[in-house]
Amino acid sequence: MAKLRTDPNLTDPDGFYEALITAQEGLPAAAADQLKARLILLLANHIGDDETLREAVALAREGLEKKSR
Q: pLDDT at position 69, please?
A: 58
b/e sequence 7-36, b meaning 16+ C-beta within 10 Å? eeeeeeeeeeeeeeeeeeeeeeeeebeeee
CA 3 to chain centre: 17
Name the DSSP letter for residue 11: S
Look at residue 30 and tell me whether its pLDDT is greater than 70.
yes
pLDDT tens for 33-61 read 999 999 999 999 999 999 999 999 999 99
Residue spans of alpha helices (H) in 1-69: 13-24, 29-47, 50-61, 64-67
